[in-house]
Chain A
Amino acid sequence: GDSVTQMEGPVTLSEEAFLTINCTYTATGYPSLFWYVQYPGEGLQLLLKATKADDKGSNKGFEATYRKETTSFHLEKGSVQVSDSAVYFCALSEIHGQNFVFGPGTRLSVLP
């Protein structure tokens, strides 16, 4: 079945450091790919998405590019802030509007 693998956390960075969180997936078709973020005490929020190969999703300084050849969707940010501390989930949706398959999440802590 479909699956999503993320780099294990926790990831601890200093403010203004460069962030990469790796995500790879296994799917039988051509899924849409997503990054969700969960801030402490809050629900999951969509961070960015990409629906086809080579698409780049971006939001709030975060970016991720849909790489079909490597089945990856790595999340990057050039300069993290303390407010980016959260748990980040990579997810895929195989069929339009169907359920998501989530990765286990990566906890990010940014220190001032």
Chain B
Amino acid sequence: DTGVSQDPRHKITKRGQNVTFRCDPISEHNRLYWYRQTLGQGPEFLTYFQNEAQLEKSRLLSDRFSAERPKGSFSTLEIQRTEQGDSAMYLCASSLYGEDNEQFFGPGTRLTVL
């Protein structure tokens, strides 16, 4: 399967713990995006990378959140000191810059903070 993959698919953690999610984009895609989706809502933009550079961060991305894409391929999203309000689906998408904005989405990681 050459689509966007995310790991893990589900994560249950206790409040205060740190969690890390991984996203593997489509191999030739140079842009990678993170979104958060809560129940009954559309995805909300968090941040995006072009190659290894993080070009934009949403105000939703508090200091407890950090994202990296060290070699311009896979990306990780870490949430420190998780709170119950962090419970959501975290989506990753990738695209090829120059191709009319089409983003390809992964299946998401569902985070539950107890």
Contact = CB atoms under 8 A, between A and B. Distances in A.
Interface of A: 4, 32, 34, 36, 42-46, 49, 51, 89, 91, 93, 96-105
Nearest to A99: B45
Given A97-B31, A99-B48, A46 B102 contact: yes
Nearest to A107: B40
Interface of B: 4, 31, 33, 35, 40-45, 48, 56, 58, 91, 93, 95, 97-98, 100-108
Contacts of B104: 46
A36 B107 CA distance: 14
Given A97-B98, A97-B101, A42 B107 contact: yes
Which interface residue of A43, A45, A93, A102 has the most chain B CB atoms within 10 A? A43
Given A42-B107, A97-B95, A102 B102 contact: no
B42 A51 contact: no
A101 B35 CA distance: 10
Contact of A105 (B41, B95, B103): B41
A49 B91 CA distance: 20
Nearest to B33: A99
Contact of A45 (B43, B44, B58, B105): B105
Contacts of B107: 42-43
B56 A44 contact: no
The 9 A-B residue pairs with the shortest CB-CB distance, nearest first, are A102-B42, A99-B45, A44-B105, A43-B107, A93-B101, A43-B105, A102-B43, A97-B97, A32-B101
